[in-house]
A and B are shown apart, each in its own frame.
Chain A
């Protein structure tokens, strides 16, 4: 009997598949259901059609969060990759023990919890007695309230972000660098190619697949940024986003609607809107990759 024969296999995958179905598939489906209902978590959900979606799209917080997100992504993703690429090339130019030493030093911020990176940097950014303002003071620059001045808040976040993520991306790019055959460089040297020509004609083209991964992954995680702006602005569910919502991001807005405003239907709809955006971006990235490989 075929089922009896396969039974051991199904028993072995059962724990994973059951947990996966209950805590991953079911939440997605139930989220879809809630997203079309008005629900505060206690009352019986009331069907409202697409009202949650239209309400979010029309809300001022949503456009503010999206505006912030675009500005944030436009800077942090490309800059982060450039820094990571630079670090990887720098580490790769050393050999042996020193190469490992610098790699580990640059990677250290990655293993710290993100919540901790945000809290340490809050001390560094603090007005008057914060480390950064003391250093600026040596050069006669007056104290800046980095986390409360709408002109600097975004950049303060991006600096923390790059401090944390550069080492992560660097390690992935380093693995890519190691996979480039050394014969390519030898041949280029014989042809008289300069270091710079080697970088632009061998290293970067050979790294394309890795850079694509880093870029796509960076975009997806940047779109869901939460811990760092939440803690940098000292947010709570009743008050979040920082001064004039300068550091309000979509996931913060979603969490605020759920746990501050007790609007679970709206929050579920928010999650789906965000997912649609992420799926579209991922799709575009994969499309671009296929297109660039075909050329």
Chain B
């Protein structure tokens, strides 16, 4: 084979590869891009005329956003979703790291059994717990309350598992050194171990955010009153066949629901991708 032919075959193959990679990237990203274009266009322009390929009016888009916040319950739903996510993150990190600290670094009677039971929970599907958990929450009088949304999700077996994996790598000498310096049990957790796990905590926080923001089933049954609707429920209602909202309102609601996770992703892409890869390779 002459060097010339080798080069040509090589470039043809590379060109095909690039074309394929770009085409798939378009399929993956286009629906999100299209949503932005529909929102940032003059109101009332029929979507049907041409698939929107680029945004045409910044002002119209901003108008739609201020309108939806002013005239529908969307702003409140946004607040509820953010509060739901923040409280869940705080609770999962605190409760999970306290327990992971013990399970990964210390010996005490019952440690293996308790940790084993929690690991079993990773295999139990949500389908079996969701109805009885709903019944329990309603017995506690927590329907349509923030604690009803948040508290049942705090004991995250996945979070505990992830933190334990991470904390196992902490050298015991550091713990012993801190103890000799006179640090108490809780102080070791707070001042020595937690700072060492910053990366794992950040990753868990981001994954918890994405998961809570996207949780549709639990808020749907716990928050049946408008005062506790999350973004997911409002988006679902706006898009339902009986919705009386215009295309513009619905698309704006959709876009705004996508913004927080997308921003998180753009900032924390490395942690998100590594967190998911880690949970996969160790599972």
Contact = CB atoms under 8 A, between A and B. Distances in A.
A217 B280 CA distance: 9
Contacts of A108: 28-29, 32, 262, 265
A223 B127 CA distance: 10
Nearest to B206: A111
Contact of A122 (B21, B98, B160, B239): B239
B213 interface: yes
Contacts of B126: 224
Nearest to B107: A9
B80 to A, nearest CB: 14
Given A122-B239, A259-B221, A278-B125, A24 B276 contact: no
A251 B127 contact: yes
A44 interface: no
B55 interface: no
A16 B239 contact: no
Contacts of B258: 112-113, 116
A85 interface: no
A172 B276 contact: yes
B123 A16 contact: no
The main secondary structure of chain B at its interface with chain A is: helix
Given A20-B155, A231-B236, A111 B127 contact: no
Given A87-B24, A107-B273, A264 B185 contact: no
Given A94-B21, A282-B123, A134 B51 contact: yes
B132 interface: yes
Nearest to A112: B258
Contacts of A268: 131-132
A31 B280 contact: no
Interface string A220-248: 10011011001100101000000000000
Interface stretch (A53-61, A174-182, A184-192): A174-182
B105 to A, nearest CB: 10
A25 B117 CA distance: 10
A167 B136 contact: no
Contacts of B210: 111, 113
Interface string B32-65: 1011000000000011101100000000000000
B95 interface: yes
B219 to A, nearest CB: 10
Interface stretch (A69-77, A97-105, A150-158, A287-295): A97-105
A31 B128 contact: yes
A220 B24 CA distance: 27
A42 B24 CA distance: 52
B10 interface: no
B182 to A, nearest CB: 15
A13 B257 contact: no
Given A172-B276, A172-B277, A111 B254 contact: no
Interface residues of A, number: 93
A111 B31 contact: no
A148 B160 CA distance: 43
B99 A163 contact: no
Interface in A104-124: 104-116, 119-124
Interface residues of B, number: 87
B95 to A, nearest CB: 5
Contacts of A174: 277
- Best-buried of B231, B276, B280 by chain A (most CB within 10 Å): B280
B90 to A, nearest CB: 12
Given A17-B114, A114-B216, A227-B216, A175 B277 contact: yes
A120 B24 contact: no
A8 B105 CA distance: 13
A94 B25 CA distance: 14
A135 B29 contact: no
Nearest to A234: B241
Interface in B115-162: 117-118, 121, 123-136, 138, 151-155, 157, 160
A28 B124 contact: yes
B176 to A, nearest CB: 16
B95 A19 contact: yes
Interface string B16-31: 0100110011011101
Interface of B: 17, 20-21, 24-25, 27-29, 31-32, 34-35, 46-48, 50-51, 94-96, 98-99, 101-103, 106, 108-109, 114, 117-118, 121, 123-136, 138, 151-155, 157, 160, 185-186, 189, 210, 213-214, 216-217, 221, 231-232, 235-236, 239-241, 251, 254, 257-258, 261-262, 264-265, 269, 272-273, 276-278, 280-281, 283
Interface of A: 2, 6, 8-10, 12-13, 15-17, 19-20, 22-28, 30-31, 34, 41, 87, 90-91, 93-94, 102-116, 119-124, 128-129, 131, 134-135, 163, 167-168, 171-172, 174-176, 179, 210, 213-214, 217, 220, 223-224, 226-227, 230-231, 234, 236, 250-251, 254-255, 258-259, 264, 267-268, 270-272, 274-275, 278-279, 282
Q: Which 7 A-B pairs have the closest CB atoms?
A: A113-B214, A172-B280, A129-B48, A175-B277, A16-B99, A31-B132, A27-B132
Given A116-B254, A214-B280, 14 more contacts: A17-B155, A24-B121, A34-B132, A91-B21, A103-B273, A106-B28, A108-B32, A110-B276, A111-B264, A116-B257, A134-B50, A236-B240, A251-B127, A272-B128
